[in-house]
């Protein structure tokens, strides 16, 4: 990686998510227009990557290929450079084939969940070893870079095991997700443990739930990592104060990064940092 990129932070905006609704924050997007509005607010503020879950107009989470195509096309019309990273996690209870649909659109990146976890109440987010291998094979076939979603230390171990066995190619880019009910808790000690468990040369983003989003985002920036903000993980600017858009969450990170003497990566700089081919869109 070029020396000039060493102090650049990649901001990912997870603008929706399968679990958040308009009842929780009226700005959560359901319609195509709302997805475009939220993506544009995040990109205008400095996000280089959009992690994307989509919904039907009535708010039902879906992994439907055509709905992804419609929303991605609409976002790209106003944000032509941004890296769009569809989720292959979808929502709990969806089948593997249902979840894999957005890979048919050959996005640059997609999330690859690296283990099964309890997801609150009776919900289980299922990612067996064979499923992870199948998802990784699909992504390799279609030249999609996986973002390795790890909700616990054991998932980092799983990703590294599958990398050693030849199922997942370097460069390795991780998303460390803390504070999900059933996953590792969102404390600085836990984040340090996860970061120290990554191999030399891997890049990482940190996502944390609710009020932990901001504190662990800052810790990630201090430790040479990247950050994910957005409604999927956190709907509030402060206690009792819903964020009016994904953009305001991104703006806050940009302000903090600048105070820390860090710069914000453009989408092409993000591609270079993560080892993605530069794309002529």
Size, binding site for Zn ion by CB under 5 A: 1
Q: Is 89 in the site for ligand KMH (CB under 6 A)?
A: yes
Phi/psi-derived region of residue 93, left when phi > 0, alpha when psi is between -120 and 50, beta in every other case: left
Instruction: State which residue, 81 or 123, has the beta carbon closest to ligand KMH.
Output: 123
Give CA–CA dist 249/219, Å, rounded.
16
- The answer to whether residues 18 and 93 touch, using CB atoms and an 8 Å cutoff, is no
Give strand pairing partners of 86: 52
88 token code pair: 């292959």
Instruction: State which residue, 27 or 92, has the beta carbon closest to ligand KMH.
Output: 92
Unique residue bearing structure tokens 């997007």: 29
Give CA–CA dist 51/7, Å, rounded.
22
Q: Is 87 in the site for ligand KMH (CB under 6 A)?
A: yes
193 token code pair: 């443990």
What is the per-residue binding string for Zn ion in 87-116, x denoting contact by CB under 5 A? x-----------------------------
Size, binding site for ligand KMH by CB under 6 A: 11
Instruction: State which residue, 20 or 265, has the beta carbon closest to Zn ion.
Output: 20
Only one of the segments 35-43, 63-71, 89-97, 241-249 lies at the binding site for ligand KMH (rule: CB under 6 A); that segment is 89-97
- DSSP secondary structure of 54-85: EE-TTS-EE--HHHHHHHHHHHHHH-TTPEEE
CA angle, 62 then 21 then 75, to 5°: 55
125: partner contacted, choices Zn ion, ligand KMH, none (Cβ within 5-8 A by kind)? ligand KMH
Between the alpha carbon of residue 264 and those of residues 110, 174, 274, the distances in Å are 22, 19, 14
113: partner contacted, choices ligand KMH, Zn ion, none (Cβ within 5-8 A by kind)? ligand KMH
Instruction: State which residue, 149 or 272, has the beta carbon closest to ligand KMH.
Output: 149
- Choosing from 12, 41, 103, 111, the residue that interacts with ligand KMH (CB under 6 A) is 111
Count of positions (residues) in the chain:
281
For the bound state, the minimum distance from the C-beta of residue 270 to Zn ion, rounded and expressed in Å, comes to 18
Give CA–CA dist 190/75, Å, rounded.
35
Unique residue bearing structure tokens 């929706």: 16
Give CA–CA dist 183/161, Å, rounded.
20
Map the footprint of ligand KMH across residues 9-48, applying CB under 6 A: 18-19
For the bound state, the minimum distance from the C-beta of residue 24 to Zn ion, rounded and expressed in Å, comes to 16
- The answer to whether residues 253 and 46 touch, using CB atoms and an 8 Å cutoff, is yes
For the bound state, the minimum distance from the C-beta of residue 6 to ligand KMH, rounded and expressed in Å, comes to 28
Residue sitting closest to Zn ion (CB): 87
Only one of the segments 87-95, 165-173, 196-204, 252-260 lies at the binding site for ligand KMH (rule: CB under 6 A); that segment is 87-95
Only one of the segments 40-48, 68-76, 82-90, 162-170 lies at the binding site for ligand KMH (rule: CB under 6 A); that segment is 82-90
For the bound state, the minimum distance from the C-beta of residue 138 to ligand KMH, rounded and expressed in Å, comes to 14
Give CA–CA dist 186/210, Å, rounded.
10
Give the interface with Zn ion as residue ranges (CB under 5 A): 87
Give the interface with ligand KMH as residue ranges (CB under 6 A): 18-19, 87-89, 91-92, 111, 113, 125, 149
């Amino acid at each position: 990686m070029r020396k000039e990129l060493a102090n650049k932070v990649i901001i990912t905006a997870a603008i929706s998510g399968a679990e958040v609704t308009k009842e929780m924050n009226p700005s959560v997007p359901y319609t195509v227009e709302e997805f475009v509005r939220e993506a544009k607010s995040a990109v205008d503020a400095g996000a280089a990557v959009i992690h994307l879950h989509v919904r039907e107009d009535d708010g039902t989470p879906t992994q439907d290929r055509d709905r992804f195509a419609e929303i991605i096309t609409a976002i790209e019309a106003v944000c032509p450079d941004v890296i769009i990273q569809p989720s292959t996690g979808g929502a709990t209870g969806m089948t593997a084939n249902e979840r894999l649909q957005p890979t048919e659109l050959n996005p640059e990146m997609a999330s690859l969940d690296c283990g099964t976890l309890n997801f609150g109440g009776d919900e289980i987010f299922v990612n067996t070893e064979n499923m992870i291998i199948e998802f990784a094979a699909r992504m390799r076939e279609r030249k999609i870079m996986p973002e390795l979603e790890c909700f616990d230390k054991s998932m980092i171990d799983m990703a590294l095991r599958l990398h050693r066995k030849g199922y997942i190619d370097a460069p390795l880019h991780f998303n460390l997700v803390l504070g999900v009910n059933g996953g590792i808790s969102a404390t600085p000690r836990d984040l340090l443990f996860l970061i120290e468990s990554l191999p030399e040369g891997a890049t990482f983003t940190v996502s944390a739930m609710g009020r932990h989003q901001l504190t662990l985002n800052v810790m990630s920036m201090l430790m040479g990592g990247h950050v994910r903000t957005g409604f999927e993980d956190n709907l509030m600017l402060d206690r009792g104060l819903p964020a009016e858009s994904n953009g305001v969450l991104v703006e806050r990170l940009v302000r903090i990064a600048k105070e820390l003497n860090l710069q914000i990566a453009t989408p092409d700089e993000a591609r270079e940092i993560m080892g993605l081919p530069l794309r002529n869109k």
